[in-house]
Structure 1
């Protein structure tokens, strides 16, 4: 490991931390041959006292769902039985040990995390994932999901990825670039070469260790003597290509039978010597023909496994063989695997051996796709559908399979691939079901990654009342309304809802945006009542919560959101968790419960990033920007809002843009910069095309205009807010409207409005009431009614301090001091709870409710040991030593 001090130090620290119980993750990346595998080998050699698990990605195995995960966990499969049953059942399903499906990939992800934790129960664990770009995408997704959640398990995960190679995406992990060796270290790898020759080889190899060794080994005696000219390896496709060419030359020097066995081993994706030899026997080769390749150092045999010296050797052995031989190798492997019952691998080898349409093989691939899809391996399912389509002669059936491939690609978050597959589907389509599927696939991509309004329009245009079933129409239109809400277009919402106003979930927007507010509220009451039924699904609860929030009933909205989140967790529908948690965060924010809102939004953002839900992530960053601004975290608020705006504005994600602008405006207003607040607040209002979609920010806009000395810009927003408050008859909304009337009306009526607003705030948001009390106190102080002003300013200050709304507390404190009141700085009255991190607080809350560590881990997507670590840290902070004392403390 010459010249690798930085890399060794980094890995060494991770191993040392693991021995102390702390987990760590690192992704090594660099070009082929640069030494990534050698670093993994070095780590394994220094892993005294650590259990080591290892998986190596193989290019031909990329489409085999969960193959990499199964290979990694093969030595510890007996631990599956120690997992909670839902997790154990999920792992058995993805490993093909049962015929069951998996409803939710988060259950599988949690099972992987728990497996790693259990594998480290008796001592630290080292997991090595080599050539991760060639590990199947479902396995990579699950391993990175677990890696990002490791904390106190004593697990080290090292990933190695080749730069520029197509394959699985490994995202969200700490990275270290492995670069070429410096000249000193490089020279130590070729000590037997004359200095002039060594310099030339080092220059050609550019510090790549494998290239150095291969170039030096390929030198002729004349070249070693200094007569260099062109070196042995020609300029193929860059340095990796030159190295590969060198390996190919070595392979071609082997006897023909040895080349044949090497080709079969390269085409095989199991590494199982038994399978390789059985397939080789089909082609007339035997085990003794592997000996020349083994003597040449191209492969190594370990027990019943075949391992190539380097992935480029495998690649050269396969790509350097004629097409006819490759086809024969795949057919032989399919026959060998058929005898072992490995139907999925057999199907892919048959597909690789097919050169034209073959319906029998296509049907086998369809079964592979169905299996993968039922286990939430959507990328693998899409690949199987696509290959099946390529082998299909019938145009209608081919179109159906392409649409299925596009749908699964959309579900996997592969938006560009989904679009490319959809573009291959010939239109118009005779089958309305296939046409609807194509529309849904395109809409999923638009909603998740491009323009939500386009998604809504695609869905709306796909509805055919004459051909579609009523329940199918209801589902499509509900999804379309949800997409239109994300885009911030009330006009489009109304158009969609008007297509089926008799549907309960569409009756509210149809009436609300059509001017029939009483009818909308009556329909909403029906929805809320239906939401009490445990059978109510996620989407109905979600839309109920959205409509309740729009109409100002934040408590009913919170109840619907809590129910939607519960359904997601209880039924394993975690793909909807980012959306339902987003709604719950918004309702908690509206109710002035900032800590709860922050916890839900943070969890939702992590899930949105995991699912590659870019639009939802932008929405959630805007919410977190609002919360950061309320707490006075200016830099954080601006960064979050800026990121949300940069993403959402060009893509027409209107609600995310509006919320991000609102966050910036509210930040400026809280910091006392009213003039600066006006522009983003007015931009936020312009980002929607209906007053209802901007009601929440109108009070801030009215206040900013008044404070900036622009009262004319406050009149119209105050009027609109008042009209809608009168129509919707919600106390909290009415309180805000009366506050705005106090700010924009004559002084003679202001006190009446302030008093009425405070009365209406009772039982509602403490934050909103404190904002009103602050404004009332300021107004009283300007009238020199100092004593009256102090009471309201003091009440506002106490609430702001309790909530941690520091900018508003600063303003209240200054006003109270100006009114002659005492301004002793107080701390939040939630006592030692305020000392906890957000995740510690959530763990403590669940522990106090009686949940076990495993139950908490399942709900928060953590390992049980991390939950225990959080409680270990939290108990001393809280001054408790048991869960009973914890429950008593929180109850008080």
Structure 2
């Protein structure tokens, strides 16, 4: 049957096929309510693809398979497994563990996605491929997350992935970021045409209009209604039935047809509808035989067009299956599952067997609950966290003992959280009868509550973690240490917005929990953060240095996810550039090697900070862009991610209006929605940089004065802005106080960066004696990778020289500053330097370039950096979570833009670029 009135939607899909045949890739989501024609549209594009020589693979979600982790992925990959043995080791192990080929332990879900991408892209790499996934809302969560991850990462792989799904349900948000085609209702004209095509009769336009209104333009409802309309009704001579079937009525229509069949046929249909995954004919017939039913009982259902019976029993439409199952009495459904459990081999199909048992019982059943829990542990071991959540939820429902019920419910909530379903996790935690739970279970429950609130409300999470860490001291000392470390880091995030006195109580309790002389990475972190939060900066320096040394050791515990936050913060507090560089670089290398995009995106932002400090703004932008791209590909497009992580960098580059709007957004989030004092302080720091760059010194001082009064983290680099703003706005007492604090920090740190910043700040307030301080600052800072600070030092030195009426000397310093700011792309500071240069009588000329090479995109720059080293295309692909063909595609563009013809010339060309 031809499609009616879907020309625009089909054109979108045809365009996608053309993109794929050209060597590029793309993904599309076809979304609509049930019966709106998704399957018909997919069938049409699949036929077009096959006619064009495109390799196609079709997959359909099955409601009964939704709780079987990676089941759909396993079905999809069967034709692509010839390349399994050629996968990089970590990818091969992760995918093998997920789909049951190996016993390699818990796999990383993103490595599974990367392995899937590699298999799909590298199977027949020169032939375009189309993956069509119908009823994607019924895929198991693990398979869906994997395939959506792949869909967001494909670029130049001659691969298209098309999903079809309903707009409602838990899976709806999983497709964020994928282009969408919405199937709307048919028009009256299209409905009339479809009625005519379905019946071969003449249809009165008024009948078509009334059917369109009555069915709300649902094509499936129109086709099903057409079966029951007489020629007289179609011609308008006889009234139409009222109401017409749509939505629930359509399901009722199917149910009416089912109930018109003999009882044995209805029972066999119910057994088929209750089957998990594909309803294999042998299984359905075997279960029916136990109940005395013959296999020929299905013949009438097939004759009526409700099912297609081959090796499996396939329902004509998911609504038929839903009507059969939901229309049956609860006792009938339980009996169907009990029969299926008897014919299911527990060794060959353990998940199906245990689920049939679980759905065959009503009240508490200790044996079935234990079986569900055992399968839940196996699911967790294979990284099937959504499956574990479903298994443990049902186990809890069948558990009468209050302690076991609490433990299993909490385990389900934990699995939901790891699977990326915080809403479901929170709802389950609300059901836990805390008073009945064992102490360790209660403590784990509180940690889960903290994890659910950390991103959105760190101060609230802090309160929970403090209580949890204390309760764990006697129950699980190692977990208690980790929880204290988490809480202390959150205390630095919540900062002055934490409940009064809580941070001091936390730090004191954390220190008291340690044994005398205890040495471990968590103990060192606890001492460093506690002493920094409790006392003065100088007193905490030894502990911070010890903690940084511990963090540089290999094989940090992977259960703790905040390493980049802790280590980066401590290194910045100490103004220790080299340790910061080595720490972030090592973490990036480790996370790329093991395929861990979730922590990698945060570590990349830390690495981008290093590039930014040295004025390599394009490099910083490329790393920020890669981090954002990874965040998008794993389904996290939150406003917090996009706004907060690079706000200091942005005020250097953005125009004034954009910078101010950005500050207002971040500052509002910090104070109201998120309640994070660190974001409040760091956004004020960024605003002070902007105001100082514009010469608005009083405004800069107003922005950061509250931070100075609190003296919380971050510290040293904000003091630099306070000294400049206070002195230039006439607040010399405040400038002197900030300089004294900066001097004490510099002496305690003992690093060149700290010494250089202190010398520059001394020059700002030194009056006639400033020159030696500026010169000392330049001698210390110039060899360091901090060109932003070097440029600002030249600027301040030149401004002082001009005010000393030494115009010739001032021009040298100001011209150097202007060139540096212009080259790095810092317009506000460049304009300030230009104004000062003009005041010396110099003519400020705009920098021009006779030939500017075409810029690299952030992804091209990332690929080029790695390709300039010894990495192969496949290794680069694994590092950037791409396919090798995409890397090759972008590398060819890099060669063209840089004017080189080989990898060995890349490093030099990148430097020149």
TM-score (norm 2): 0.89
Distance in 1, matches of 2:848 and 2:258, equals 74
Range 587-596 or range 380-389, more displaced: 587-596
Query: Are residues 1:35 and 2:37 paired?
Result: yes
- Aligned partner of 1:460 among 455, 466, 481: 466
Query: Are residues 1:483 and 2:493 paired?
Result: no
Aligned residue runs from structure 1 range 224-243, under 5 A? 224=234, 226-228=237-239, 231=242, 233=244, 239-243=246-250
3-state SS of the aligned residue for 1:693? coil
Aligned residue runs from structure 1 range 152-191, under 5 A? 152-167=156-171, 169-170=173-174, 171-191=176-196
Match of 1:522 in 2: 542
- Note closer, same or farther for the CA distance 1:14–1:614 as it changes in structure 2 (3 Å cut): closer
Match of 1:65 in 2: 69
Range 188-197 or range 482-491, more displaced: 482-491
- What is the Cα deviation at residue 820 of structure 1? 4.1
Match of 1:217 in 2: 227
Match of 1:292 in 2: 300
Distance in 1, matches of 2:418 and 2:14, equals 39
- What is the Cα deviation at residue 856 of structure 1? 0.8
3-state SS of the aligned residue for 1:691? coil
Aligned residue runs from structure 1 range 506-655, under 5 A? 506-515=526-535, 517-537=537-557, 542=564, 543-571=566-594, 574-609=597-632, 618=640, 621-632=643-654, 644-645=666-667, 647-649=669-671, 650-655=673-678
Aligned residue runs from structure 1 range 381-420, under 5 A? 381-420=388-427
- Aligned partner of 2:886 among 853, 866, 885: 866
Match of 2:520 in 1: none
**Per-residue CA shift, 1:642-698, capped at 9, x if unaligned?**
665565441213333443454455445545666766665567x39x95333244334
3-state SS of the aligned residue for 2:778? helix
Range 99-108 or range 486-495, more displaced: 486-495
Question: How many residues are treated as equivalent by the alignment?
Answer: 881
- Note closer, same or farther for the CA distance 1:150–1:791 as it changes in structure 2 (3 Å cut): same
**Per-residue CA shift, 1:158-208, capped at 9, x if unaligned?**
111212245464222122221112222222112333333322111112222
3-state SS of the aligned residue for 2:28? strand
Contact 2:472 2:479 (C-alpha < 8 Å) held by counterparts: no
Contact 2:27 2:161 (C-alpha < 8 Å) held by counterparts: yes
Contact 1:840 1:871 (C-alpha < 8 Å) held by counterparts: yes
- Note closer, same or farther for the CA distance 1:158–1:536 as it changes in structure 2 (3 Å cut): closer
Range 167-176 or range 882-891, more displaced: 882-891
Range 269-278 or range 28-37, more displaced: 269-278
- Note closer, same or farther for the CA distance 1:213–1:634 as it changes in structure 2 (3 Å cut): farther
Query: Are residues 1:246 and 2:269 paired?
Result: no
Distance in 2, matches of 1:708 and 1:186, equals 74
**Per-residue CA shift, 1:687-724, capped at 9, x if unaligned?**
x9533324433434554566678878766655544453
**Per-residue CA shift, 1:232-286, capped at 9, x if unaligned?**
546xxxx321211112122222232332232222222322334333333333344
Distance in 1, matches of 2:273 and 2:687, equals 57
- What is the Cα deviation at residue 888 of structure 1? 5.2
Distance in 1, matches of 2:425 and 2:802, equals 62
- Aligned partner of 2:877 among 854, 857, 879: 857
**Per-residue CA shift, 1:407-441, capped at 9, x if unaligned?**
22222232222222112111235533212211211
Range 669-678 or range 491-500, more displaced: 669-678
Alignment gaps of 5+ in structure 1: none
Contact 2:625 2:858 (C-alpha < 8 Å) held by counterparts: no
Query: Are residues 1:88 and 2:86 paired?
Result: no
Match of 2:711 in 1: 690
Query: Are residues 1:839 and 2:859 paired?
Result: yes
3-state SS of the aligned residue for 1:513? helix
- What is the Cα deviation at residue 851 of structure 1? 0.5
Match of 1:276 in 2: 284
- Note closer, same or farther for the CA distance 1:94–1:640 as it changes in structure 2 (3 Å cut): farther
Contact 1:770 1:795 (C-alpha < 8 Å) held by counterparts: yes
- What is the Cα deviation at residue 619 of structure 1? 5.3
Alignment gaps of 5+ in structure 2: 197-201, 515-522
Distance in 2, matches of 1:830 and 1:103, equals 50
Contact 2:410 2:445 (C-alpha < 8 Å) held by counterparts: yes
Contact 1:541 1:561 (C-alpha < 8 Å) held by counterparts: no
- What is the Cα deviation at residue 470 of structure 1? 3.0
Range 634-643 or range 730-739, more displaced: 634-643
Match of 2:518 in 1: none
- What is the Cα deviation at residue 222 of structure 1? 7.1
Query: Are residues 1:808 and 2:829 paired?
Result: yes
**Per-residue CA shift, 1:266-314, capped at 9, x if unaligned?**
222322334333333333344433332223222234x534432222122
Contact 1:83 1:111 (C-alpha < 8 Å) held by counterparts: yes
**Per-residue CA shift, 1:797-818, capped at 9, x if unaligned?**
2322332323333433443344
Contact 1:632 1:667 (C-alpha < 8 Å) held by counterparts: no
Contact 2:623 2:858 (C-alpha < 8 Å) held by counterparts: no
3-state SS of the aligned residue for 1:27? strand
**Per-residue CA shift, 1:500-546, capped at 9, x if unaligned?**
43521112122223335444222233233334433444659543332
- Aligned partner of 1:136 among 127, 137, 140: 140
Match of 1:885 in 2: 905
- Note closer, same or farther for the CA distance 1:305–1:52 as it changes in structure 2 (3 Å cut): farther
Match of 2:365 in 1: 358
**Per-residue CA shift, 1:440-483, capped at 9, x if unaligned?**
111111113x3112222212212237623432221111111122
TM-score (norm 1): 0.91
Distance in 1, matches of 2:233 and 2:575, equals 83
3-state SS of the aligned residue for 1:314? helix
- What is the Cα deviation at residue 91 of structure 1? 1.6
- Aligned partner of 2:679 among 656, 663, 668: 656
Contact 2:31 2:165 (C-alpha < 8 Å) held by counterparts: yes
- What is the Cα deviation at residue 44 of structure 1? 0.5
- Note closer, same or farther for the CA distance 1:422–1:592 as it changes in structure 2 (3 Å cut): same
3-state SS of the aligned residue for 2:328? coil
Range 165-174 or range 343-352, more displaced: 165-174
Match of 1:55 in 2: 59
